[in-house]
Amino acid sequence: MSERRILGGVALPRPAPAPDRGPLDDAFHDLVEARFARVVTDDPVLATYLGIHAWDDRLPDASRERILGEIEKERHHLAAVEALDPSGLSASVRFERDLEIHNVRRVIFDADVVRRWERHSSGIDAVGDALFPLFTRDFGTPAERYAAITGRLENVPEHLAAHRTRAVGPQVRSWQELAIASARDLPSLFGEILAAAGTLGLSAAEARRLERAVEGARVAVAEHATWVESTLAGGTDDWALGRERYDALVALRAFDGLDAEAILEIGLDQLAANHAARAAAARELDPNAPELEVVERIKADHATTFDEALGEYRAAMARARQFLIDRRLVTVPDDERVEVLATPAYLRRVMPFAAYFAPAPFDRDPVGTYIVTPSVDDDPDAMREHYRASISNTSIHEAYPGHHLQLAIAVRHPSLTRLFADAPEFVEGWGMYSEQMMREEGFDDGPAFRLALATDAIWRACRIVLDIRMHRGELSIEEATDFLIEHTRFERPNASAEVRRYTSTPTYPLSYLLGKVLILGLREDQRRRRGGAFSLREFHDTLLRNGSLPISFHRRLLADEARPATGGANGIDRAAARR
């Protein structure tokens, strides 16, 4: 067995040798590890999110030149992996090779065909994203984390200047407007950092250095915002991907053979079906009241303050976790942890409801982060989006058995290829599947909860329709916002923030409900295949331990077309990961 590669003080995992080990298996793993090391070394922020902390005080080179160089390096890596003769690989490594090719083709398409990075200054969000894990996670000592935060803050002026080199053509106005809003919000994070640092007993020199770094970052953010504002006059409103490129992206996503037309049909069918389900739940609650009146009544059942609502999110999450254990629906690891926090101000316009950040796989004590947005633009009606029936549904989706449990298990797999897989139709689809499965099994299965379930499914059906139709150029932002409000009854600020998010993430919004439909299909196929031996727990455990894969790859594993690699002696060993 070859010695494990060390990167930034962390021993990288490698799947144990397969029983049918091929002569090219090690060559494949060497290529994967070399790419992983390159990508992580070039992106210190990604390294932090993964739990590799050697470069926590640095920011990546954000320049146009570096991105173009990365595209060429990815092309070379793809060619090297494709050149490996599959006949020289074990069955499990052939599977990994196919997944690696899928992953890298996606990366190249996004960077070289979609090229959003040329049309939008994402620098402000990049700064916030670089500070967020250092501020919210509890790895290392507080002094170490704040020294890293200070280092990153000191690099903000250079980092933002590098972002400006990407703009070689008209910038998309709606995206730039979001960047301007983020620039107004980001200093609040700086303020939170300074306030928290004041309680840590930093030395006078450390405190002064942090204060100077914050002030320099504030000035750089303001200068960058001024530059972004200067791009609006010559900007463009052409953000749609267009039919040809959209269809190409759908094909690359490997949606189990579905094209955009078939996916749109699923969205419309699901929209109608869930409207019918919501109407039925409303009739159960009050057969004499109009459906939307009942919906508004349910939304009025919420806590008085957001802090109280956060407590209710935590309580719902704990109840759902215990339900999974009591009913033996899935294996819940003893050592997983998740924290629930208010969404930082700089993220609220792009994450208007809730979101989840996975545990860092290489941290000694990984913890997931579940964020909930208090309001968008200080909307006085914002608490209506935190109504109690919705809190139950959202906590299932984001925590148990949704994103947190799925990703906390996925990051334990020793495959670096799987760690880098981009498959939102499984990740988001699992979250939505979890919502339905928990109701099927009897968790919070009253009519108010079923109404919330149907309302959320209507929202995700709208995402399918809007994702496709907006990027084909068939709907404007305002038309899409009206459509979303008509079907979901969202407050306008939340609906507007949602739709603006869709403009910059083609094929991601449709992944939620489409993924749920595909996972339900996998379940039925497995039920037919296993007959009386089918076990819901075994089905769930198999999906989760195989990682965040595209549905078509999960289908191959379930059909036993390739054996999944097991952790064995070379899995992620958190106790011994650092030297």
Q: Under 8 Å CB-to-CB from 349, ≥6 apart: which residues? A: 178, 181, 182, 185, 376, 377, 497, 500
Angstrom distances, CA of residue 558 to CA of 209, 236, 522: 55, 46, 8
| Sole residue written with tokens 């994967």 | 32
Cβ 456 vs Cβ 512: under 8 Å: no
Distances (CA, A) of 80 to 110, 283, 449, 486: 20, 60, 51, 50
In contact, 28 and 43? CB cutoff 8 Å: no
- Determine the Cα–Cα distance for residues 165 and 153; give it in Å rounded to an integer: 20
Q: Where is 530: in which H helix or E strand? A: helix 511-530
Neighbour count for residue 139 (Cβ, 10 Å): 19
The model carries a pTM of: 0.91
The total of other beta-carbon atoms located within 10 Å of residue 204's CB is: 7
**What's residue 567's pLDDT?**
44
Does residue 85 contact residue 24 with C-beta atoms inside 8 Å? Answer: yes
358 closest CA partner among 85, 70, 48, 55: 48
Q: With bands split at pLDDT 50, 70 and 90, how would you rate the model's confidence at 332?
A: very high
Q: Which of 46, 103, 125 is nearest to 351 (CA)?
A: 125
Token pair recorded at residue 547 = 């990682």
Alpha-carbon span 137 to 360, nearest angstrom: 10
Q: What is the CA radius of gyration of the chain?
A: 24
CA atoms of 170 and 233, how far apart (whole Å):
9
410-438 burial: b if 16+ Cβ within 10 Å, else e: bbbbbbbbbbbbebbbbbbbbbbbbbebb
Q: For residue 235, what pLDDT is reported?
A: 96
**How big is the chain, counted in residues?**
579
143 vs 157, higher pLDDT: 157
Count the neighbouring beta carbons within 10 Å of the beta carbon of residue 322. 12
Distance CA 10, CA 90 (A): 27
Q: What is the pLDDT of residues 365-408, one digit of tens each?
A: 888 988 888 887 777 777 888 899 989 999 999 999 999 999 99
Share of the chain above pLDDT 70, in %: 95
**pLDDT per position as a tens digit, 471-522:** 999 999 999 999 999 998 888 888 998 899 899 999 999 999 999 999 999 9
Amino acid at 565: A
Beta-sheet strand order (sheet of 368-372): 338-342, 368-372, 354-357
Q: How far is CA 199 from the centre of its chain?
A: 32
DSSP sequence for 387-418: BHHHHHHHHHHHTSSSHHHHHHHHTTSS-HHH
β-pairing, 368-372 vs 338-342, is parallel
- Res. 563: pLDDT tops 50: no
Distance CA 94, CA 565 (A): 11
349 DSSP assignment: T
Instruction: Give residue-wise pLDDT tens across range 41-82.
Output: 999 999 999 999 999 999 999 999 999 999 999 999 999 999
Nearest to 238 by CA among 283, 299, 156, 175: 175
Residue type, 161: A
Contact 213, 154 (CB under 8 A): yes
pLDDT computed for residue 380 by the predictor: 77
pLDDT of residue 568: 43
pLDDT tens-digit map of 193-224: 998 888 888 899 999 999 999 999 999 999 99
467 pLDDT higher than 90: yes
Residue 486: exposure state from Cβ atoms within 10 A (0-12, 13-18, ≥19):
exposed
